[in-house]
């Protein structure tokens, strides 16, 4: 039997006999062998009917690893739910027909002249990526606000500001408090509240005017991974919707943008498949460090922050996420041979400036790990280690650049012998 395995969940639907750590083929308990093009870190020896329990690790050593590997399927699921399969452009109509299944009040999107996003932690970082798309693609002024700061320093009210609250759990106390504050202060104002959450039955959904579910399935690991990926998909679709409605993008450009989204699951799979061993090497080399820096520019500044959060949360290493340029204004003084720097260097608008930042880091003696889709020497020769991504448009690069950072955080945490699914001092949902 030979087949191309499209996702972890696909092959996990049958029971599997013993396999080593990284595998291209699976032997089922009935004796059949399934050849795959993916090499996957299967760790348990037998998987019995993995569909039965959503809290089953399905062959992975930890939920975090399982959830990282579920990301291609999560993107597919979200796109299947949000894309209209039979969309025809209707470009001549006054309001062009939407390519997306949002089921939102029409005025919510039509009225918005500004957007503010409120969220915490990883959801906040998804908001920062979204800010880039909403401003740079759709041309809508967007602010991302820390939900935990919102109540004590509420921003001045402005009409036609769409507030988007993002929370995977839908129960984060800080985010709910920000939504409540926004609701109570904005009476008499034309303003809408939209929720983006992985829990459509949550307190958030009850508090907002409409909800967009992220459809990532249950996330057990405290470190958010696949829910972040799903938040990005929903935000990208929303930004494209705004851009199309405002005729910033033509129907043809939206079609191209949708095709690029549809290519993502295979690209994420390629990163998981090809970079696993590089990540193992990097993790072994740096598992004992005390400090680490992640640098990114433009849209990948958000991913630098998210990568540093993942590292702090799971490995307890002091990790700083910085915009590449800003890091030069003082923090670079902390570098020496014991402080590895991870530089996110996608091709595109920030390529040259990120390379210059990386070079500066290197000359200050720090070990340098590059995450890049550019492979030609001499540019890449400066990296001590390199995670290579498939070719990708810079605007979409966060979908890929975050993956090696998630894997690295996971792998270092395991190497340090930590409880990766349940880090100390935090819980999955901060309800107080
Ligand atoms: O459920 P939420 O998305 O509202 O949670 C917000 C943060 O508490 C959460 O993202 C936290 O930062 C994660 N544990 C990060 O992995």
pLDDT 10s digits, 375-418: 876 677 899 999 999 999 999 999 999 999 999 999 999 999 99
Write the pLDDT tens digit of every residue in 124-158: 999 999 999 999 999 999 999 999 999 999 888 88
- Given a cut of 50, whether residue 272 has pLDDT beyond it is yes
The tally of CA atoms less than 13 A away on the side-chain side of residue 253 is 11
Q: What average pLDDT does the chain have?
A: 87
Ligand 1 atom having least distance to the Cα of 123: 3
Mutate to test the pocket of ligand 1, among 63, 121, 179 (most ligand atoms within 8 A of CB): 121
Q: What was the pLDDT predicted at 8?
A: 38
Question: In which band, very low, low, confident or very high, does the pLDDT at 92 lie, cut at 50, 70 and 90?
Answer: low
Helices (H), 208-250: 226-245
Grouping H, G, I as helix, E, B as strand and the rest as coil, residue 163 is strand
Q: Do domains 100-262 and 266-415 have the same CATH topology?
A: yes
- Given a cut of 80, whether residue 348 has pLDDT beyond it is yes
* 298 torsion bin: left (phi>0), alpha (psi -120 to 50), beta (else): left
Looking at the domain 100-262, which fold is it? Rossmann fold (3.40.50)
Q: What was the pLDDT predicted at 377?
A: 66
Mean pLDDT of the region 262-291: 96
The domains of the chain are located at 100-262, 266-415
- Given a cut of 80, whether residue 432 has pLDDT beyond it is yes
Write the pLDDT tens digit of every residue in 47-71: 333 344 557 888 899 999 999 999 9
CATH tag for 266-415 (out of 3.40.250.10, 1.10.287.1060, 3.40.50.10490, 3.30.470.20): 3.40.50.10490
Name the residue among 151, 130, 154, 150 with its Cα closest to residue 142: 130
* Rounded distance between C-alpha atoms, residue 417 and residue 210, angstroms: 42
* Rounded distance between C-alpha atoms, residue 369 and residue 342, angstroms: 5
Q: What was the pLDDT predicted at 56?
A: 84
Could you tell me whether strands 318-323 and 291-296 are parallel, antiparallel, or unpaired per DSSP bridges? parallel
- Pocket around ligand 1: residues whose beta carbon is below 6 Å from it? 120-123, 167-169, 172, 175, 222-224, 309, 313, 429-430
Ligand 1 atom having least distance to the Cα of 174: 4
Q: 288 near 317, Cβ under 8 Å?
A: no
Question: In which band, very low, low, confident or very high, does the pLDDT at 43 lie, cut at 50, 70 and 90?
Answer: very low
In the reported structure, the alpha carbon of residue 102 is separated from the centroid of ligand 1 by a whole-number distance in angstroms of: 24
Q: 384 near 369, Cβ under 8 Å?
A: yes
Q: 122 near 228, Cβ under 8 Å?
A: yes
Question: In which band, very low, low, confident or very high, does the pLDDT at 79 lie, cut at 50, 70 and 90?
Answer: very high
Q: What count of residues does the chain have? A: 432
- Please name the residue whose Cα sits nearest to atom 14 of ligand 1: 223
- Given a cut of 80, whether residue 88 has pLDDT beyond it is no
Question: In which band, very low, low, confident or very high, does the pLDDT at 159 lie, cut at 50, 70 and 90?
Answer: confident
Between 95 and 23, name the one with better pLDDT: 95
In the reported structure, the alpha carbon of residue 29 is separated from the centroid of ligand 1 by a whole-number distance in angstroms of: 39
Q: What was the pLDDT predicted at 20?
A: 30
Q: State in Å, rounded, how far the first CA of the chain is from the last one.
A: 52
What is the Cα gyration radius of the chain?
Answer: 22
- Given a cut of 70, whether residue 18 has pLDDT beyond it is no
Q: What was the pLDDT predicted at 23?
A: 53
């Amino acid at each position: 039997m030979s087949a191309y395995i499209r996702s972890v969940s696909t092959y996990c639907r049958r029971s599997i006999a013993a396999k080593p750590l990284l595998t291209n083929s699976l032997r089922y308990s009935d004796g059949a062998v399934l050849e795959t093009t993916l090499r996957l870190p299967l760790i348990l020896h037998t998987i019995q009917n993995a569909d039965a329990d959503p809290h089953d690790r399905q062959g992975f050593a930890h939920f975090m690893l399982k959830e990282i590997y579920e990301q291609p399927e999560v993107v597919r699921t979200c796109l299947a739910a949000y894309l209209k399969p039979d969309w025809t452009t209707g470009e001549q109509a006054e309001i062009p027909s939407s390519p997306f299944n949002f089921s939102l009040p029409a005025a919510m999107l039509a009225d918005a002249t500004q957007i503010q996003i409120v969220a915490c932690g990883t959801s906040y970082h998804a908001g920062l990526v979204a800010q880039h798309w909403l401003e740079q693609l759709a041309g809508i002024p967007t602010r991302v606000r820390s939900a935990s700061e919102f109540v004590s320093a509420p921003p001045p009210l402005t009409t036609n500001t769409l507030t988007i609250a993002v929370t995977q759990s839908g129960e984060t106390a800080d985010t709910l408090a920000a939504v409540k504050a926004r609701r109570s202060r904005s009476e008499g104002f034309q303003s809408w509240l939209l929720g983006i959450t992985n829990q459509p039955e949550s307190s958030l959904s009850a508090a907002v005017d409409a909800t967009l579910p992220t459809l990532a399935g249950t996330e057990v690991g405290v470190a958010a991974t696949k829910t972040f990926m799903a938040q990005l998909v929903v935000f990208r679709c929303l930004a494209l919707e705004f851009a199309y409605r405002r005729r910033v993008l033509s129907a043809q450009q939206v079609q191209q943008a949708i095709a690029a989204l549809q290519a993502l699951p295979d690209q994420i799979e390629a990163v998981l498949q090809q970079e696993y061993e590089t990540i193992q090497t990097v993790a072994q080399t740096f598992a004992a460090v005390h400090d680490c820096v992640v640098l990114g520019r433009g849209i990948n500044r958000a991913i630098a922050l998210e990568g540093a959060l993942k590292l702090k949360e799971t490995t307890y290493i002091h990790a700083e996420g910085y915009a590449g340029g800003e890091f030069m204004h003082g923090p670079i003084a902390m570098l020496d041979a014991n402080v590895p720097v991870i530089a996110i260097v996608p091709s595109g608008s920030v390529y040259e400036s990120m390379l210059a930042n990386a070079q500066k880091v290197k000359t200050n003696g720090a070990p340098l790990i590059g995450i890049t889709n550019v492979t030609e020497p001499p540019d890449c020769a400066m990296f001590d280690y390199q995670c290579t991504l498939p070719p990708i448009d810079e605007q979409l690069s966060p979908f890929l650049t975050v993956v090696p950072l998630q894997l690295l955080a996971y792998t270092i945490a395991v190497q340090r012998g930590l409880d990766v699914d349940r880090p100390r001092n935090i819980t999955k949902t901060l309800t107080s």
